[in-house]
Structure 1
Amino acid sequence: MSEFQIRKDNLTHRIVDTDLSESDISAGEVLVKIDRFAFTANNITYAVVGDQFGYWQFFPPTGNDVKGWGILPVWGFADVVASNAEDVPVGERLFGYFPPATYLKMTPTAVSKLRWIDGAEHRSPLPSGYNAYRRVMAEPNYNKAMDDFRMLLFPLHITSYCLYDNLQDNNWFGAEQVVIISASSKTSIGLGYALADDQSAPKSIAMTSSRNLEMVNNLNIYDSTVTYDNLTEIDASKATVIVDMSGNGDVLGRLHKHLGDNMKFCSNVGFTHWEDGGMGPDFIEQRSEMFFAPSHIQKRIKDWGPEVFEQKTTAFMQSTISRSASWLKLTQLNGLNGLAEVYQDVCEGKVNPEAGLVVVM
């Protein structure tokens, strides 16, 4: 049994063998074998803001020399291989938040037909949405063939939906145009789908690199496209809202300076360290805000109730996944060693945006 650990201060990695076994589970616990998980730039964001938002706390690393090391959460599927928990049988398949590891010990609580919560004590202070696991075999339309698309896009497109809903709920912050930075990212594309489907939404402007320009244009979802080098082509006379997936201080600073008073609001989603002053003198901090999707999810569940929230997001997800299947190229990696081979490329943003990395354990 093994797990993929990350050095918190420099994001280097190692694979560590553990001594977890089926006989280790106590009353009320289960052991799951992780079957597969997705790995995207979103997981690197978890590492960059891990201390701010508690991402390192979900899965403490095991072993003797763990100081300074952590485990990045991933989205994937796992199967119950041993159970001492009532109502959770061996063979049950789960979708949710897992460590990049071979096995995980869990404590099912609040067990219902479609889901349960991992009640492990160290997870209780963390956002409940990340502690919930779908019992996929109980879903009426569950199709195992769609597992890879689901784990790749669900965690990203749920953020896309929340970003769209937040903009709409705030009347677009009075903007006539929405600039989406790093428009080739899967989260940006999900937001692009939402804006394209809403006739009342402001015009969308995709900002991307020259390398990804053709790919972004071929999506046919954004109203216009600019590259980072040509951002001054954006009409600065129009009220603008920015959704930033990159956290690139130079780009944000130049864009804020270009737009000036017409930069009405900037939602920071990606590798964002602007609170530490890393965005330069032209960054307008007072009209910028870190976006944390779990907080928006909790707000909407309170506003609408969990059933309505699930109906809205499921309908959105079904639409975006079906459309993404036309361009998303699934790439299977062989276990944790396969992940290690591409990990640095993901950190450095060298993976093609069309690639969907799937680690098969």
Structure 2
Amino acid sequence: MQEFQVQKTDLHKTKIVDVDSAPLKDGEVRAKVDLFSFTANNITYGVAGDQIGYWQFFPAHGAEIQGLLPVWGFADITESKHADVPVGERLYGYFPPAEELVLSPVGVRAGQFIDGAEHRSALPQGYNVYRRVNAEPGYNGAFDEARALLFPLHVTSFCLWDCMKDNDWFGAEQVIVVSASSKTSIGLGFALHEDADAPTSIGLTSGRNAGFVKSLGYYDQTATYDDLSSIDTSKPTVIVDMSGNGDVLGALHASLGANMKHCLNVGLAHWEEGAANENIIKERSEFFFAPGHIQKRIGDWGAEGFAEKSNDFLMKSMVASKSWMKVREASGLEGLSEHYQAVCDGKFAPNEGLIVRF
């Protein structure tokens, strides 16, 4: 069995490592990974690996300095010592970038189970749920690639839209989405576009991606990092920052001043540039953690209520993605190696999604 490791202190350094497959214990199953997506979001898991605990989900074999960046994808059960999870089950969920994963199913239901591995017990439960997709009404494997690419990102998009709406848009008349070409931003742009009550949306992006962002038709206005003066700073504004670029964020906060009503910090598309800047208004900024919002809404709506509302949005956004997203396939972990640096450096085309297939 092989796994794709990165160095925790330098995400650009990677290696593929051979690992012996562990024999199953009673109650465990072996899932052979079939495919997974790999985007800038997976790099963010590494950047925030220590603060949020992403390194803990799938500890790398060997040196402590090595880590595994979690990925979202599909796997098939090839061996089972659990009476309620037979060989042949197909799963959607959180996996290591590796050929297989041993799971300890608990809370087994018709449509899902939770990995009860002890080292994952204190981590956010949303990442430990595995969907038994063959039990889903109308499951169609033809959508597996789009689901692996977009569901993990667009559930955050849904939560951001819902959070802002639930807070009456923080009193804002416009929403600036920083790094508007990222797939999570595109999902949020879609949500705002579909909501007739949403404030005006502004997609902020680089000059090279401006044409693509405009072509989506989701944002009311497109602006570039080198032309922030095109943004009307007299309007009360909420910022959703997917970039982590401190200079851009500081410039926006400084120009908006009192009209910067709230800033939701989400991703780190420009993770190497850091978010520290003396102009950032910290008292009106917050780190947005989607699993926390999901737990809040499960408390408000119940698990089934959240699933119904979010899945309705996810299906619509996935169908809409056919108009802009192209899927690029890589073969196994060697294929991931070939594309990894481009994803890590933010050079992967915004209209493309990478799928690693074994």
TM-score by length of 2: 0.98
- Shift, 1:187, TM fit: 0.4
Q: Deviations over 1:131-170 (max 9, x none)?
A: 0000000001100000000010000000000000000011
Alpha-carbon contact 2:245-2:270 (below 8 Å) kept:
no
Percent of matched pairs sharing the same residue: 59
Matches within 5 A, 1:20-169: 20-21=21-22, 24-63=23-62, 66-169=63-166
Alpha-carbon contact 1:38-1:359 (below 8 Å) kept:
yes
Q: Which runs of 5+ in 2 are unaligned?
A: none
Q: Which of these residues, 210, 222, 230, is aligned with residue 233 of structure 1?
A: 230
TM-score by length of 1: 0.97
Q: 1:351 to 1:272 in 2, by over 3 A?
A: closer
Which letter maps to 1:152? L
Matched with 1:262 is 259
Matched with 1:17 is 18
- Shift, 1:199, TM fit: 1.1
Matched with 2:214 is 217
What CA distance in whole angstroms lies between the structure 2 residues aligned with 1:203 and 1:327? 22
Q: 1:278 to 1:326 in 2, by over 3 A?
A: closer
Q: Does 1:5 find its partner at 2:5? A: yes
What CA distance in whole angstroms lies between the structure 2 residues aligned with 1:180 and 1:272? 12
Q: 1:273 to 1:183 in 2, by over 3 A?
A: closer
TM superposition outliers: structure 1 runs of 4+ over 2 Å: none
What CA distance in whole angstroms lies between the structure 2 residues aligned with 1:122 and 1:281? 38
Q: Does 1:329 find its partner at 2:330? A: no
Question: What SS does structure 2 have at the residue aligned with 1:194?
Answer: helix
What CA distance in whole angstroms lies between the structure 2 residues aligned with 1:104 and 1:60? 11
What CA distance in whole angstroms lies between the structure 1 residues aligned with 2:203 and 2:100? 40
Aligned CA RMSD, in angstroms, stands at 1.4
Matched with 1:195 is 192
- Shift, 1:278, TM fit: 4.5
Alpha-carbon contact 1:252-1:279 (below 8 Å) kept:
no
What CA distance in whole angstroms lies between the structure 2 residues aligned with 1:296 and 1:67? 32
Which letter maps to 1:19? D
User: How many pairs align?
Assistant: 356
Q: Deviations over 1:236-279 (max 9, x none)?
A: 110000001000011001111111110010100012999xx942
- Shift, 1:171, TM fit: 0.5
Matched with 2:349 is 352
- Shift, 1:286, TM fit: 1.1
Question: What SS does structure 2 have at the residue aligned with 1:270?
Answer: coil
Q: Deviations over 1:281-335 (max 9, x none)?
A: 1111111110100000011011100111111011101100000011110000010
Question: What SS does structure 2 have at the residue aligned with 1:259?
Answer: helix
What CA distance in whole angstroms lies between the structure 1 residues aligned with 2:46 and 2:310? 26
